[in-house]
Amino acid sequence: MKKGLLIVYSGLSGVGKGTILEKLMPMKELNLAYSVSMTTRQPRPGEKEGVNYFFVSKKRFVEAVKNGELLEHARFVDNDYGTPKEYVERMREEGKNVILEIEIRGAKQIMEKCPDALSIYIVPPSIEELERRLRERSSEDEQTIMKRIAKAKRELKETDMYEHIVCNDDLDKAVEEVRQIILDEMNK
């Protein structure tokens, strides 16, 4: 059986990458498996353990890093995030295309380790639009929002390493573009 793809999927928080992914996940032809990350962040309202993240203590996270359980890991704003290795490898062996929704430094680690990974970065139409979307979501305090915006501006300067940049101006168009990128890679 052909091994599944490793797809690095990134974009600034608030850019709508989660919404795009929700539309892609049920598409059978894409044969996707979502890699659930480990994080030390607190759950947001509605988030579920083992679905959105594995929510762990700092101590457990450090232990996972030490034991080599993570394929990559990075600190984002004030929390740690990492990709459990075992699931990714098992799913790829089963022929599933595994999607890693991760931030840019983790993505860099993956691309160094797995040069054949497919990489996609979602950009907002503008920083102003991103700021508006972040406030609308308003699950975070002003200081955290400002931190995320400052980080966004720095991050956008570093997106060259991604193979594909997709603008989420129109949701359906962005979904279709990402779908096509994955299909093209599967058919290579």
Using CB under 6 A as the criterion, which residues of the chain lie in contact with ligand 5GP when the complex forms? Answer: 13, 37, 41, 72, 74, 76, 81-83, 101-103, 106
Of the two residues 106 and 124, which places its CB atom closer to ligand 5GP in the complex? 106
Of the two residues 10 and 97, which places its CB atom closer to ligand 5GP in the complex? 10
17-24 helix and 171-186 helix, angle to the nearest 10 degrees? 60
Query: Three-state SS for 9?
Result: strand
Q: Are strands 53-55 and 70-76 parallel, antiparallel or unpaired?
A: unpaired
Of the two residues 88 and 175, which places its CB atom closer to ligand 5GP in the complex? 88
Q: Minimum Å distance from CB 187 to ligand 5GP?
A: 27
Of the two residues 161 and 184, which places its CB atom closer to ligand 5GP in the complex? 161
Handedness of CA 94, 51, 117, 30 (dihedral sign): positive
Q: Minimum Å distance from CB 105 to ligand 5GP?
A: 6
How far, in whole angstroms, is CA 14 from its chain's centroid? 12
Q: Minimum Å distance from CB 1 to ligand 5GP?
A: 26
What number of CA atoms fall less than 13 Å from residue 154's CA on the CB side?
11
